Amino acid sequence: MTQDSKPDYQVGDILQVSCAPTPAQVTEVSRSYVSIEWPWGEVDPDSLESWNGQFALPVEPDGWEWSLFRTEQDPRTLKPGDTCLVGIPEMLVRVIDVGHYDPPMDTGRLPRPHTLLIVLPVDRPSVGGGCEEEGDTIELDSTAPISVERISQNESG
């Protein structure tokens, strides 16, 4: 992950994020989700969590359940066995929560994250007062090549 010199992100910060599209194989499709083989990171053999190496993306990328990561192809056209491109289109997000973990959090994937940013698109209203269930997570120092640039900083934090 590229960062602007290890900043201390705060709730209210505005970030520009993106991730270059990377090929991934579609493993499962349902009415609500497209599951892909996650192209970054690996299963943590010492984890107490069970992760199968797959990641589910909402079929409706701008629906209530929202994800930073998108397929370049319309997810409604994908089927198991297809190869698609997955990434984060350049967008502005606001930080709605920050989590620091020492030791790093056991998610079932490597590397284990030490800092998580919960974000929402700047133009998406917060319906639950900024609760993390309505946002998506950026794992700092993830193996996904996410670019994060702070556009404006919350000065009150």
pLDDT digits (tens, 9 = 90+) for 22-47: 999 999 999 999 999 999 989 999 99
Please count the other Cβ atoms lying within 10 Å of the Cβ belonging to residue 69.
21
The predicted structure's pLDDT at residue 129? 53
- Cβ atoms of 53 and 32 closer than 8 Å: no
pLDDT digits (tens, 9 = 90+) for 100-141: 999 999 999 999 999 999 999 998 776 655 455 678 999 988
| pLDDT beyond 50 at 3 | no
The predicted structure's pLDDT at residue 66? 83
The predicted structure's pLDDT at residue 1? 44
Give the 3-state secondary structure of residue 92.
Answer: strand
H helices then E strands: how many in the chain? Answer: 0, 10
Query: From CA 36, how far away is CA 39, in angstroms rounded?
Result: 8
CA dihedral (42, 58, 70, 112) in degrees, to 10, reads -30
Q: Could you state, in order of their start, the residue ranges of all structural domains in the chain?
A: 14-152
Mean pLDDT of the chain: 88
Chain centroid, CA 98 distance in Å = 14
pLDDT digits (tens, 9 = 90+) for 62-111: 667 789 999 999 999 999 999 999 999 999 999 999 999 999 999 999 99
pTM of the model: 0.86
| 72's tokens | 């370049």
Establish how many alpha carbons lie within 13 A of residue 40's alpha carbon, considering only the half-sphere containing its beta carbon: 18
